[in-house]
Amino acid sequence: MRRTVIVPPDLAPAATPAAASAANTRAAERSARRFARTFLRYETGDLGREVRRALRAIAIPRLARQLLSEPPRRPAGAKRSRPGRLVRLRPERAQAADAVTFTAELKYRDTSGTLRITIARRGGRWLVTGLR
């Protein structure tokens, strides 16, 4: 069962404001990219040590706990599907110098989707604070 939210194409992303410096946006993008790749594994039911560790390292504690306590479910006897892949990650908008939302374009075997990832600087690190 996929939890990816499909965003209609008519919701065009806004340009990244100057509030977020290029260096901040690149640092936030590295975290968003790492999270997206981990999330693609997570949504197939991969809750191995590497995925759990990465979720805890990249997301704020509350979000990591929520994801790990409510893992995706597969029908009984169903094989784990192959993870999708991250096709493109682009900054959508910066709320401030220390918060950026990215749109991740995802490709699955027979379909595609998007995931909006909000990243904020917390304690010197860029952490995922929200998903849509």
Rounded mean pLDDT of the chain? Answer: 84
pLDDT one-digit tens code per residue, 41-67: 999 999 999 999 999 999 999 999 999
CA distance 67 to 122: 19
Question: Quick check: 20 and 36 in contact, CB under 8 A?
Answer: no
Residue 14 has pLDDT above 50, yes or no: no
Dihedral (CA of 122, 127, 130, 132) sign: positive
How large a percentage of the chain has pLDDT more than 90?
60
The number of beta carbons lying within 10 Å of the beta carbon of residue 33 is 16
**Chain mean position to CA 132:** 9
Domain boundaries in the chain?
A: 22-73+83-131
> Looking at the whole model, is its pTM more than 0.85?
no
**Chain mean position to CA 86:** 10
What is the model's pLDDT at position 60?
97
Residue 84 has pLDDT above 70, yes or no: yes
Tokens of residue 51, six digits: 């995925």
Residue 101 has pLDDT above 50, yes or no: yes
Domain 22-73+83-131 in this protein, CATH class: alpha beta
pLDDT one-digit tens code per residue, 119-132: 999 999 999 999 99
C-alpha distances out from residue 75 to 37, 78, 113, Å: 23, 5, 22
CA distance 112 to 122: 31
